[in-house]
Amino acid sequence: MSALKAYLKEIVNVAAVMGLGDMVAQFGIEKKPLNEWDTGRTLRFGALGLVFVGPVLRQWYIFLESRVPKTLNPMRRCVTKMLADQCIIAPPFTLAMSFLVPLVNGEPADQIRKRIFEYYPSLLARNYMLWPAAQLINFRFVPLSHQVLYVQCVALIWNSYLSLVLNKTVDPHPNPTK
């Protein structure tokens, strides 16, 4: 039962940090006043942490821990995990988030496709500016039981950016003269 409790605590933490990331995006970056806070958006972004991000990351880190040989020296093991993380999970995970965030916000599929074609390459490029270094620290120094939480602390910055980009409204009829 304590393993289930730890798991639930971990995914609730992910949800809270993702919700906080959206709040940072709305208040700190978008400069919305409190009376314009889109609480539904914050709750939806946090809910993605609860039902998707937290569970996926937890299982991914457990998988990496079990598959990367413990016989490797610590630095080589850490680099191997980081490379696997950034080559195997980062592209589809970023793509999934690029789809899920606008989906939970009620955007139609054609707008989501436009958003993905427009933003996915730059999201993935920016992912590679932050996450390899963060994951090297994570896999080298953070115990497995705290890796998802560590990642979510770093992700506070990432989630603020992601929320800002993925919650933009895509104009279905852009004006080419602008």
**What does the pLDDT look like over 134-167, one tens digit per residue?**
999 999 999 988 888 888 889 888 877 877 777 7
Max mean pLDDT range (12-16, 160-164, 171-175): 12-16
- State the pTM of this model: 0.84
Residue 172 lies in a domain: no
The two three-digit tokens of residue 126, written as one number = 């920016």
Alpha-carbon distance of 157 to 153, in angstroms, equals: 8
Mean pLDDT, the chain, integer: 88
Helices 109-141 and 90-104: angle between axes, nearest 10 degrees: 130
Work out the angle at residue 135's Cα, subtended by the Cα atoms of residues 134 and 137, and round it to the nearest 5 degrees: 70
Residue 75 included in any domain: yes
Average pLDDT over residues 84-111: 93
Phi first, then psi: what are they for 131, rounded to 5°? -75, -35
SS3 call for 32:
coil
Range 29-48 average pLDDT = 94
Question: What is the C-alpha separation between 10 and 32, in angstroms, rounded?
Answer: 30
pLDDT of the residue at 169: 54
Q: What is the mean pLDDT of residues 123-131?
A: 93
pLDDT of residue 110: 94
More confident residue, 173 or 48: 48
**Does residue 61 form part of some domain?**
yes
pLDDT single digits (tens) 55-89: 999 899 999 999 999 999 999 999 999 999 999 99
Query: Does some domain include residue 9?
Result: yes
Give the least confident one: 50-59, 106-115, 133-142, 169-178.
Answer: 169-178
Contact 139, 77 (CB under 8 A): yes
Residue 32 lies in a domain: yes
What is 101-162 written as a DSSP string? HHHHTT--HHHHHHHHHHHHHHHHHHHHHHHHHHHHHHHHHS-HHHHHHHHHHHHHHHHHHH
Asked if residue 143 is part of any domain, the answer here is yes
**pLDDT category of residue 176 using cuts at 50, 70 and 90:** very low
As a residue count, the chain comes to 178
* Total of domains in the chain: 1
- Over pLDDT 90: what percentage of the chain? 62
Is 178 contained in some domain? Answer: no
Q: Is residue 136 part of a domain?
A: yes
Contact present, 148 and 16 (Cβ < 8 Å): no
The answer to whether the Cα torsion of 27, 152, 80, 78 is positive or negative is positive
Q: Which domain, by its residues, includes 50?
A: 2-166
